[in-house]
Amino acid sequence: MLNIQTKPLRTQQENHVANRSRTYSLLAEAYRYPDDAFRDQARHGDLYQALRTLFSDLPYPLAWIREEEKALRSLNHVKDDDIEVEFIRLFEAGPGSPPCPLLEGAYRESRRSIMRELILFYNHFGLSYAEGAQDERPDHICLEMEFLHYLTFKELHVVQKDSSCLSYLRAQKDFLERHPLSWVEKMAERIDRIKKNRTLDACQEVILFYWGLASLTVRFLKEDCRYLQAVLTEPV
């Protein structure tokens, strides 16, 4: 998606922007179908360690919750089939529809207007999106996280050129409020209910992992939006 050349990071501001951007990129990958590489990373704790490193150098504090840490390290001895089956059962299949879709339109009314607005967002910022020509719908969590990765990466680019990044900050806040923050918490709540029900034939470690990921995602999105609000209301 990104073909922007950036310079080596020199300042704390640049590091902060880069780490916010990397976090969005990592979250986008974490919600994709768990391929071999992702399963190995999750089992070995690489995802947890990467997030922990990024969260240690953000422009705001984001404390870890013990239950989330435990959840993101719960796949040590889980089989490939169990990870895949539970991902499909949670997010992609089910009677009528999956219990926890990764799609904004499943949690909000006016699906058509949501799609139209998302495509306008993407196209306005130079990302050519044509519905039906992509692997994922415009309201998929992976695309929404990738778009925020893109906006923060563009922010880093203009910061390194000593130019104003206000337009990208406003776009990030607007997009967060209008899209992921309007539905991702609802998705996390559904995963939490499934975790508490403890279905006998389900692999609880996988459900716990995705609950931890969703819970952490919600907290990061909220804190990032608060940060943007604070920056945008600072006196010039």
Residue 2 domain-assigned (yes or no): no
- Which of 142-146, 159-163, 175-179 is predicted least confidently? 159-163
Residue 1 domain-assigned (yes or no): no
Q: What is the mean pLDDT of residues 132-149?
A: 86
- Model confidence at 194, pLDDT cuts 50, 70, 90, reads very high
Residue 4 domain-assigned (yes or no): no
Q: What 3-state DSSP class applies to 140?
A: strand
Strand partners, 140: 103
Per-residue pLDDT tens digits for 4-57: 556 788 899 999 999 999 999 999 999 999 999 999 999 999 999 999 999 999
Per-residue pLDDT tens digits for 66-100: 999 999 999 999 999 999 999 999 999 866 689 99
201-206 long-range contacts, CB within 8 A, separation 24+? 202/86, 202/89, 203/78, 203/82, 203/83, 203/85, 203/86, 205/74, 205/75, 205/78, 205/82, 206/74, 206/75, 206/78, 206/82, 206/83, 206/86, 206/87
- Residues 6 or more apart whose CB falls under 8 angstroms from that of 79 comprise none
Q: Which domain holds residue 215?
A: 12-232
Which residue in 78, 107, 123 sits closest to 214, CA to CA? 107
pLDDT of residue 210: 98
pLDDT of residue 55: 96
Residue 176 domain-assigned (yes or no): yes
Whether the CB-CB separation of 179 and 144 falls below 8 Å is answered with: yes
CB count within 10 Å of CB 135 equals 8
Quote the CA–CA distance of 64 and 169 in Å, as a whole number.
25
Residue 152 domain-assigned (yes or no): yes
pLDDT of residue 8: 83
- Model confidence at 1, pLDDT cuts 50, 70, 90, reads very low
129 to 70, 122, 136: CA distances (angstroms): 38, 7, 10
Burial 149-174 (b: 16+ CB within 10 A, else e): bbbbbbbbbbbbeeeebeebbebbbe
Residue 7 domain-assigned (yes or no): no
Whether the CB-CB separation of 21 and 138 falls below 8 Å is answered with: no
Total number of domains constituting the chain: 1
Residue 3 domain-assigned (yes or no): no
Residue 124 domain-assigned (yes or no): yes
pLDDT of residue 95: 65
Whether the CB-CB separation of 206 and 147 falls below 8 Å is answered with: no
Quote the CA–CA distance of 119 and 187 in Å, as a whole number.
22
Check which CATH number belongs to the domain holding 115 and give it: 1.10.3480.10
Strand residue runs (E) in the chain: none
Percent of the chain with pLDDT over 70: 92
